[in-house]
A and B are shown apart, each in its own frame.
Chain A
Amino acid sequence: MGVMRILDRTGDTMIEWTGAVPESLRKAENSFNQLIDERQMAFGRRAGAMIDEAERIFSFDPALEEILWVRPIQGG
């Protein structure tokens, strides 16, 4: 089982997938590709791992425990 966490006004929205439900995998991958198209940045990590252990990813990996999505940045 894995979860994507997309930062938003609620804190984050989670989308989960599990290999036991192929449809959940397909939908999670579709969401991943949609967010990449929106120029958001994805980082994979073991659940609860510190940021030093997180790695930027560019394609959906269903073996990951957690994918965190963050936005592009701009000068404030």
Chain B
Amino acid sequence: MSDYVVLERLADGRLWIRLTEGVLAGRAVLAFPEPEPGSPLSSQWQVHSSLSPYRRSDRLLRSLLNEEQEKDWRDTRQFLVSGAYGMLQFGRISDIRFWPTTSSELRICVLPVGPHLPEPDVWTNLLFALKADPRRFFAVANWRRPTERQWHLGPVPGFATGD
């Protein structure tokens, strides 16, 4: 744990603290007491920021983007991602614009598994999933043509296993 100063001791055992060193220096965080044994990630220091979930996830996403992407995200809440597969426009959950290298525009829908995430975290998650395994990304994505309303189950054409 970083060095810190205690700002306030809450009645339930939590502490408002301000970190005084390291990459998080200056940030005020809420430090929780030891969780019950057997709970997920028990016996860990779990630190929560005073930022709202959206602002917190927005800050993380922006730290991952290049200058142009970050500007686009700040101005329009959309940004472009490109690779050997073509180009994607992240910004509309469940209706991502995709320009494949080898065919005309499609719309795809792919999401992180599990409970709700703030929207910027969804894009962070998808950025990393795409980086880790582009073929799998397009293999699991559902898709449609822009002129259609009906969605098709993945894989996206051209990304089936063995293609």
B53 close to chain A: CB less than 8 A: yes
**Cβ-defined partner of A47 (8 Å) among B23, B52, B125, B140:** B23
- Do A8 and B131 contact each other (CB < 8 Å), given the known contacts A3-B23, A47-B23, A70-B124? no
In the complex, how many residues of chain A place their beta carbon closer than 8 angstroms to a beta carbon of chain B?
40
CB distance from B149 to the nearest CB of A (A): 15
Contacts of B41 in A (CB 8 A): 6, 13, 15, 31, 34
In the complex, the answer to whether A9 meets B53 with C-beta atoms within 8 Å is yes
Can you give 29 contacting A-B residue pairs, CB < 8 Å?
Answer: A7-B112, A9-B115, A10-B53, A11-B51, A11-B52, A11-B53, A11-B54, A11-B121, A13-B41, A13-B48, A15-B46, A16-B2, A27-B44, A34-B41, A43-B128, A48-B63, A54-B64, A56-B131, A66-B23, A71-B113, A71-B114, A72-B112, A73-B125, A74-B113, A75-B110, A75-B111, A75-B142, A76-B94, A76-B142
Interface residues of A (CB under 8 A from B): 1, 3, 5-16, 18, 21, 24, 27-28, 31, 34, 41, 43, 47-48, 50-52, 54, 56, 65-66, 68, 70-76
